[in-house]
Amino acid sequence: SGPDTVSPTGQPTGAEQARMAQSGAFLTDAQGTRLYDTDHSLKAGARGPVLLQDHHLREKVMHFDHERIPERVVHARGAAAHGTFRSYGTAASVTKAAFLTQDEETPVFVRFSTVLGSRGSADTVRDTRGFATKFYTSEGVFDLVGNNIPVFFIQDAIKFPDVIHAGKPHPDREIPQAQSAHDTFWDFVTLHTEATHHTLWNMSDRGIPRSYRTMEGFGVHTFRLVNAEGATTLVKFHWKPKLGVHSQVWEEAQLAGGVDPDYHRRDLADAIEAGAYPQWELGIQTFPDTPDQTFEGIDLLDATNLVPEELAPVQPIGLLTLDRNPSNYFAETEQVAFHVGHLVPGIDVTDDPLLAGRLFSYLDTQITRLGGPNFPQLPINRPHAPVNDMLRDGMHQTAVHRGVAPYRPNSLDGGCPFLAGADNGAFVETPVRVPEATKVRAAPESFADHFSQPRRFWLSMTPVEKEHIVGAYTFELGKVYEQTIKERALQVLANIDPDLCEQVATGLGLPAPAPTVPLADVAPSPALSQIGQTWPTA
Ligand code: HEM
């Protein structure tokens, strides 16, 4: 009773037809009827009126009229590539996921993106970059939907519409396209100081990567891995580029963006075409799955936190190689649908409240963006594992399902599909204890410290990286119209580090305020600096 790509008459359907397009000897209409002319409307005489009966004209224009689909509400601009992932077989002690433990090559599709700009915006802007990977594993699809920055702006998904409203262009002037130099962005991140850490990363060199090939990637949230014995481990995922981490300096990015706004997508496609296949090692930081889900005092459910690599080294578990460009941007890069809820046995989620909202949001938005509930059938989204679901009908259904009883149990379809258990490959949610508690709209106390981790980041920078950060804050805040927002931003900087605040204040011609919180006594973490990175190790 599985889906089929062959019509009842035995003719190829859907994807098969799409592959055939532009390869036959004769141009046809969508019904397969050969055409003798596609340049002239049917008219009553060469200078006469166009006739309504011209089906070819109406079909051609109708289809064109509907060529555009909504762009992604965030991460609209992206570039992608196909490749493979090969596990090192070193993760078996912490997960039973076959693609991470067995000696097998897993096909992948990776989409890089900016966050705030529209589909036609420039690659070179100061922004966070998306780093989303679809693993077509033998046990189903696993998506690792991460960014090039290991922390996020907010701790709870309920604020996501707010932070994006603040970051997207102003409602009245529709500027800027992607840069953060505007009042609403700075208003938000200074009123919601949990955004301080992510904003600092954006103002650092990480905000203007040299190439997608030289970016780190991060799963950001803490995930829960489960091994074959059922033992659990908390982890954070890291992608480490084999080429090292490199950025552009600000002036360089301005020139590159002016000359070639497609700088990053061109770089990725050209490199792959030339055989210079970009590679990343996948690594994990592991933490004991303790009831409080903290590590060295760091709340692992707070996505504005990272865990310094000195405290939990990144352990390499596999290698990603991108070696094939998409052949059709729309079919692949635009129609790919990532979702943090696409999990396989051995990888589970935690109670991070930001992750919880994402588990709803991606599926929901894709119904609008991809026109109904059947987007998993699109070629780029199809699992490579066998699919035998009971999902039926709906807009843009392309499968011809067999069988008469899409429910179970049933007694009409010659038996019905088995339900698997954990021992034969089912995804079984980890039976984590849910604390007995009272319903409340509140953040835990452990989410309250918004400045220690940004301070560690600042103190870990080399002098030249600090200089770039000061320059970025001064330039971006210099674009803000509202004086009070600039003053509030300086207060935030003072709470990170008085020296940082002083330098930016001087640049803005404003007085530097004193800190309003005690400055945390944190040790620098050399791995946070891009300079002198010791990776790659393998
Ligand atoms: C898209 C990452 C938080 C909603 C994306 C994409 C990435 C990403 C990489 C682009 C995927 C692609 O290339 O197609 C992240 C990270 C987050 C985060 C790392 C925090 C750790 C959130 C939250 C929400 C959200 C909290 C909503 C509550 C969306 C939506 C899209 C998107 C609606 C568009 C998806 C589509 O149209 O297919 N995100 N995101 N994200 N994200 Fe997130």
Over range 501-524, report the average pLDDT.
Answer: 98
Cα angle 197, 203, 206 (rounded to 5 degrees) comes to 90
d(CA 484, CA 489): 9
Higher pLDDT, 14 or 292: 292
Quick check: 117 and 262 in contact, CB under 8 A?
Answer: no
Q: 34-48, 108-122, 133-147, 411-425: lowest mean pLDDT where? A: 411-425
The Å distance, Cα 358 to ligand 1 centre, comes to 7
Over range 459-465, report the average pLDDT.
Answer: 97
User: Does this model's pTM top 0.90?
Assistant: yes
Question: What are the tens digits of pLDDT across the range 376-393?
Answer: 999 999 999 999 999 999
Predicted complex ipTM: 0.96
Q: Is 470 left (phi over 0), alpha (psi -120 to 50) or beta?
A: alpha
Q: Is 148 a catalytic residue?
A: no
Closest CA to 350 of 195, 197, 232: 232
Ligand 1 binding pocket, CB closer than 6 Å: 72-75, 78, 111, 113, 130, 132, 145-147, 152, 157, 160, 220-221, 303, 336-338, 354, 357-358, 361-362, 365-366, 369
**What pLDDT does residue 147 have?**
98
Confidence of residue 179 (pLDDT cuts 50, 70, 90): low
**What pLDDT does residue 104 have?**
87
Question: What are the tens digits of pLDDT across the range 406-454?
Answer: 999 999 988 778 899 888 999 999 999 988 999 999 999 999 999 999 9
- Is a pLDDT exceeding 60 seen at residue 171? yes
Question: What are the tens digits of pLDDT across the range 206-228?
Answer: 999 999 999 999 999 999 999 99
**What pLDDT does residue 337 have?**
98
Over range 497-503, report the average pLDDT.
Answer: 98
- Is a pLDDT exceeding 70 seen at residue 535? no
Over range 488-515, report the average pLDDT.
Answer: 98
Nearest-CA residue for ligand 1 atom 18 is: 358
DSSP code at position 134? E
The Å distance, Cα 228 to ligand 1 centre, comes to 30
Closest CA to 147 of 194, 111, 189: 111
**What pLDDT does residue 113 have?**
98
- Is a pLDDT exceeding 50 seen at residue 538? no
Confidence of residue 5 (pLDDT cuts 50, 70, 90): very low
- Is a pLDDT exceeding 50 seen at residue 126? yes
Q: Is 509 left (phi over 0), alpha (psi -120 to 50) or beta?
A: left
Over range 169-174, report the average pLDDT.
Answer: 85
Cα angle 536, 93, 290 (rounded to 5 degrees) comes to 100
Q: 4-8, 330-334, 403-407, 534-538: lowest mean pLDDT where? A: 4-8
The Å distance, Cα 158 to ligand 1 centre, comes to 13
- Is a pLDDT exceeding 90 seen at residue 98? yes
Over range 314-322, report the average pLDDT.
Answer: 97
**What pLDDT does residue 421 have?**
87
Supply the mean pLDDT for the chain. 93
Of the residues 55, 63, 66, 75, which is catalytic?
75
The Å distance, Cα 278 to ligand 1 centre, comes to 23
**What pLDDT does residue 6 have?**
45
Nearest-CA residue for ligand 1 atom 36 is: 72
Could you give the dihedral angle defined by the CA atoms of residues 195, 198, 203 and 205, in that order, rounded to the nearest 10 degrees? 180
Q: Is 82 a catalytic residue?
A: no
Looking at the CA of residue 158, tell me the nearest atom of ligand 1: 28
**What pLDDT does residue 180 have?**
53
Task: Choose one of 358, 359, 363, 365 to mutate for the ligand 1 pocket test, by most ligand atoms within 8 angstroms of C-beta.
Answer: 358
Backbone angles phi, psi at 456, to 5 degrees: -60, -40
Nearest-CA residue for ligand 1 atom 20 is: 152
**What pLDDT does residue 347 have?**
98
